[in-house]
Amino acid sequence: MSSHAPRRSRRWRRTALALISGGVLATALLQPTSPATADDPLPYQDPSLPTAQRVADLLGRMSLAEKIGQMTQAERIDVDADTSLITDNYLGSVLSGGGSVPDPNTPEAWADMVDRYQEAALATPLGIPLLYGVDSVHGHGNLQGATVFPHNIGLGATRDPALVEKIGHITAEETRATGPQWAFAPCICVARDDRWGRTYESYGETPQLVESMETSIDGLQGKPGQLDRSDHVLASAKHFAGDGLTSYDESAAGTGAYPIDQGIDRVSRAEFARLALAPYVPAVKKHHVGTVMPSFSSTDFNGGDTDDAVKMHANQELITGWLKEQQGFEGFVISDWRAIRQLPGTYAEQVEASVNAGVDMFMEPIQAPNNPDGWDVFIPTLTQLVEDGDVSMDRIDDAVSRILTAKFELGLFEHPLTDRTHLDQVGSKAHHQVARRAASESQVLLRNQQRTLPLKSHQDVYVAGSNADNIGNQAGGWTLTWQGGSTNVIPGTTILDGIEQAAHGKVVYSEDASARIPRGSAGVVVVGETPYAEGFGDVGGPQWAYDPGDNGVPRPEQTMQLSDADTQAVKTVCARTVSCTVLVVSGRPMIIPPGLLNQIDALVASWLPGSEGAGVADVLYGRRPFTGKLPVTWPRSVAQEPINIGDKHYHPLYRYGFGLSTRR
């Protein structure tokens, strides 16, 4: 879209549809279907024309195959060896799944890769550029060398919307400089049960807190009319709607199914509107988010059997009725990873239900474990549905016009190849300074007996615990790979690094606290979770190596617990040091038993601080004050879950919004 184009509105939508169905479309049908010369551009190639007119002109020139191609998203592995697949199938979009990266995984290689795919898209008769999406959920995390920020739960603890907007802008700058123009972020879910394995993707447990953090959309996209700039990307509000509101399904234990992730919202319509739909109102009307991604979860407003539940990818009432019609959402809806395949019926019935529900683009990768097919069957399936009259051309045209509008607004028709202006800013010192500040502001001080914190810089320190010197653990999931990993190494500092930089006294480190503890030392034990992305979350090991309960499925009591090794390290250090500070590096609250808590002088919720553990040390040593507040309620036991502010019987270990300060 030209930078002079006005912000879209519902009037714009009516204008576009009128142009499509009226004279402009009729005129366009008489035009040649191949691009004109630079000296004599076709209307859709003319940036001086209004976006609606350009969309209508281009849509009128497109065949059904070209339109369905625009609705199709493949994974990069599907097309990397043969980019002619992009050209021959008119593919409208490609994505990188978690860990799907070029070799080498460098900024330049990313830009070269995306441009290679883009050139294949431009080789189609109409030269419609490709839209490339990536999971930049806490920085451009797939890229080795990108700046990795705290995950959303930590950002919610900052209560700092301006900082969150800044982080969004840096993420956009680093993402677009390396090729992708679209971030599958932010997650604007309201996490209501900390047993959910994606709690860390939520800014917090109240809609008000989540809505205040939606400044991330502004950071990613810029102000209306700025999307075509080289430091902005298309954002995606997800997961619509109610992914954080699912009920824990006790009956699923032992079945191999996720007992809460991708589950069912068994609530009233009023509660669903208050907790699930509310964040999407400002996302659409105030922040003008460009895309929305439906959830894997289902709704059941009757509170009955699972058979009554409606999967969000087939929920026409909410996607078309509430989101598009009532809220006036004019962007496009992108399905989640092969999510339509969880709908009932045959594949044709799944495609039909989802398209008619209002999903506009379909993430249908082939290259995934045990996937025999993907976009290659989606295209002929949807084609047949249109030819049989099960999906109308009006629905196809609406979906494609929304997708084309985003591409025009991104400026891809004028500048399809990667603008590498900001390539040298990827992982820059200035960006890491913001990450360090974010890590500091995200720390929540829960306990501080005898003013243990801030530590005195001249004091000797004994550091222990599994997460003290592990940058993979402190970065969490969606870092280099889908699940993240304890062995993943990214540029930055661990918490131990930060302590060693801040301390003027002697620093002794022993992960398991087996090394001798010098007399008079202050103890710092960094405990918590290992990385994960979805599912049950951390239950004693990575997502692919559960500490299993029945039939390989973790039991509820296995979640949110400290490991035996971490517990022993806390006991050992707290018994032998002059003071004992425990930092919990995790994607959600962890259970601290009363007997263990009584041994701890200072307790800090460190969340997943990202690439700059030095920011954690900054508050430990008083370089910055503790200012963070709990974004979720901290329970006494797993048995209290779900527990949230406003509950009738509310007796947590630490209340929502709690946080001590060392500000003087």
Cite the active site residues.
Answer: 336, 534
Cα separation, 293 vs 93, whole angstroms: 15
Among 517, 434, 410, 501, residue whose Cα is nearest residue 509: 517
Residue 172 neighbours by CB distance under 10 Å: 30
Report helix angle 10-21 to 51-61, nearest 10: 30
Coil/strand/helix, residue 555: coil
SS (H, E, C) 380-416: HHHHHHHHCCCCCHHHHHHHHHHHHHHHHHCCCCCCC
How would you classify the pairing of strands 602-605 and 444-448?
A: antiparallel
User: CA-to-CA distance for 252 and 248, rounded, in angstroms?
Assistant: 9
Amino acid, single-letter form, for residue 493 = T
Contact between residue 363 and residue 334 where contact means Cβ atoms under 8 Å apart: yes
* Ramachandran region, residue 480 (left: φ > 0; alpha: ψ -120 to 50; beta: rest): left
d(CA 442, CA 606): 7
> Hey, is 434 helix, strand or coil?
helix
At position 269, the amino acid (one-letter code) is: R
Could you tell me which residues come within 8 angstroms of residue 581 by beta carbon, excluding any fewer than 6 positions away? 452, 453, 455, 522, 523, 524, 525, 600, 601, 602, 603, 604, 620
Q: What are the strands, taking DSSP E only, across 246-313?
A: 264-265, 291-294, 298-299, 310-311
